[in-house]
Chain A
């Protein structure tokens, strides 16, 4: 399963290096990667490679974040997007873009994104409290989403010039267009650190299968796990959003896709879920380059268009299961 997903990621990465306004045959891609010269090589290494690598790492971060959050709150509907973390990260990044005078290539952007995500995750756990069901968590997430959405709109309103506002508006839609190795260098270490934090709690997700009390009686420090996941989500999702804008639903879809094959064990699905997330985002980002349109369709739009019906379908299945029970 894991090996098959890794292979899929490699294949999609290859496709992603070939696809674009100019189709490059595999031979050109390989020559470019091997340090060859010429236009094709420049397209591959300077334009497409950073984009592909970002799609893989950000997708993996989002897939892992979804699986980790689901493990922590013990519910397959949990998703960072639904809990307001990306909205908060986007708000903080938008503030920096609009008023900070920072360029989209400064370290201030991922730092703001992570701070925003951390505030929202901390608020969520603070408001929802311990031992709350998914309904309370979702309602708290809904409130945070609405709040940070409105705050972001306010930033757009007050943005010093209309061009900045337009830039932010497009950035918010979520895209990997024109991203470079600088972005990867800025966000990569934070995403790696976030992933380590999220993965470090694998044993806790497993123990939490039996509820917080039993997990605690089995020696799990539930409060510390919560903090580690909050920090991991803030680092990973915050850094990812500060590079791409809001890309939603990968964290919901990826764990679900792998659960049937990898089993329900919340620790065993972490790696497959990260790989599935990487594959999903790389596929979505390749797809937007293949759709003929005057301006490139935003990747975040594609993931939401696919993710939202999927989410509704999940709810429908849960409703049916409850009616059947």
Chain B
């Protein structure tokens, strides 16, 4: 199948195992929400897929194995948006988004028509076109987070990894960004997003993967995985359900 397939992927940090034997398949065109309590290994999973953390096991994207191979080739296939984005210099919004084109060549010394088009499209999708020439350092936290997502989109990689893409955003922009991630997936790409908001995860994701203390405890459609039993066992939460867009979406009520 196309999409991302993980087979018994384990990650250790400083000799400490943080992810055990995760086996998971996400089809192309699907948005996978990775959820789990703090310290469950969500970020480690994303970093391993991005090639930033050493792992054992195998990963496949489409028909090709991940891991090994030239870094530039991997960078063209996987776009990674970390939880906290650093920005060392006061680059303009457009230049930061242009950095997303680095895997394709050197867009700063000679931007190809494709570079220009990809950057314009990414700016447009995140409503940043009007801010394109502003230094990113002058923007609000939410605007900055959108710039970073635009940067990851500009790579036009078949696999997008986003670690808490909604963390710095107000509710309206959280909805907008998740809608956008689903749209991107619908174009035939695979999107992995770490989310803390179970309501949003259940509402937008095609598949939810639940991690708990380094193990994958459930994966599948949100209605099945985010059962009352699991929410109680893994998250220690009692939830009520609300129907949105035909889905029964959990809303946390109390700690158990």
CB < 8 Å A-B pair total: 79
A211 and B86 contacting across the interface, CB-CB below 8 Å: yes
Contacts of A264 in B (CB 8 A): 89-91, 135
How far apart are the CA atoms of A214 and B161 in the complex, in Å?
12
Does B79 interact with chain A (Cβ within 8 Å)? yes
Please tell me which one of the listed residues B47, B74, B108 contacts residue A267 in the complex, with CB atoms under 8 A apart: B108
Does A208 interact with chain B (Cβ within 8 Å)? yes
Does B87 interact with chain A (Cβ within 8 Å)? yes
Closest chain A residue to B101, Cβ basis: A218
Q: Count residues on chain B whose CB falls below 8 Å from chain A CBs.
A: 33
How far apart are the CA atoms of A208 and B89 in the complex, in Å?
10
Does A319 interact with chain B (Cβ within 8 Å)? no
How far apart are the CA atoms of A210 and B80 in the complex, in Å?
11
> Chain B binding site: helix, strand, loop or mixed by DSSP?
mixed
Query: Are A209 and B102 CB-contacts (below 8 A) given A214-B80, A217-B75?
Result: no
B72 and A219 contacting across the interface, CB-CB below 8 Å: yes
Does B231 interact with chain A (Cβ within 8 Å)? no
Binary interface encoding of chain B residues 152-186 relative to chain A, with 1 for a CB under 8 A from any of its CBs, else 0:
00010000000000000000000000000000000
How far apart are the CA atoms of A72 and B141 in the complex, in Å?
25
How far apart are the CA atoms of A75 and B89 in the complex, in Å?
8
Contacts of B88 in A (CB 8 A): 74-75, 208-211, 266
B85 and A209 contacting across the interface, CB-CB below 8 Å: no
Interface size class of A (residues with CB under 8 A): 20 to 34
How far apart are the CA atoms of A256 and B90 in the complex, in Å?
13
Contacts of A213 in B (CB 8 A): 47, 52, 80, 82
What is the CB-to-nearest-CB distance from A64 to chain B, in angstroms, rounded to a whole number?
A: 17
Query: Are A214 and B91 CB-contacts (below 8 A) given A219-B74, A219-B75?
Result: no
Does B51 interact with chain A (Cβ within 8 Å)? yes
Contacts of A216 in B (CB 8 A): 51-52, 71
Please tell me which one of the listed residues A74, A75, A209 contacts residue B99 in the complex, with CB atoms under 8 A apart: A209
In addition to A74-B88, A264-B91, 19 A-B residue pairs with Cβ atoms within 8 Å of each other are A203-B102, A203-B108, A210-B85, A210-B87, A210-B96, A210-B148, A210-B151, A211-B85, A213-B52, A213-B80, A214-B80, A217-B75, A218-B100, A218-B102, A218-B103, A218-B155, A219-B74, A264-B89, A264-B135
Can you pick out 5 interface pairs between chain A and chain B where the beta carbons lie within 8 Å of each other?
Answer: A74-B86, A209-B89, A211-B88, A218-B102, A219-B75
